[in-house]
Amino acid sequence: MAQKYGLLIDNYWCTGCHTCEIACKNEHDLPIGQYGIKMLVNGPWELREEGKWEHTYYPVITEYCDFCADRLAQGEVPSCQFHCLASVIEYGPLDELAKKMEELDRRATILIP
């Protein structure tokens, strides 16, 4: 059975800067309105405890994501991971990413195209 790969995103530390989107669009020369990875926003809304707010960012991959196959063939990481300012994106085998996800005590997502 072939090894499957994905992206681990630590949403707790994602700042929503959209650098992953821009890096992907530039890498694949995608037109306006098409994304390989797209930033979604959850919130803001006030939590039960007055004065505390929830505002979370969730990068998600689309059908245009190929994990930057050309970069991988050259031994490089996907462009979104390379350019992520908060270093919250990691590409790798799903079993390894799942183990790392278990170690995180906060929100994290594994993305698979």
The 10s digit of each residue's pLDDT in 83-92 is 999 999 999 9
**Does pLDDT of 45 surpass 90?**
no
CA dihedral 94, 109, 91, 31 (to 10 degrees): 130
**Does pLDDT of 106 surpass 80?**
no
Mean pLDDT along residues 26-39: 95
- Find out whether 20 and 89 touch, Cβ atoms under 8 Å: yes
pLDDT at 46: 86
- CA pair distance 29, 36, nearest whole angstrom: 10
Amino acid letter, 44:
P
- Find out whether 44 and 52 touch, Cβ atoms under 8 Å: no
Strands (E), 47-107: 53-61, 89-93
- CA pair distance 99, 93, nearest whole angstrom: 10
Nearest to 86 by CA among 28, 20, 39: 20
Better-predicted residue by pLDDT, 110 or 71? 71
Residue 71's pLDDT band, with cuts at 50, 70 and 90, is very high
**Does pLDDT of 1 surpass 80?**
no
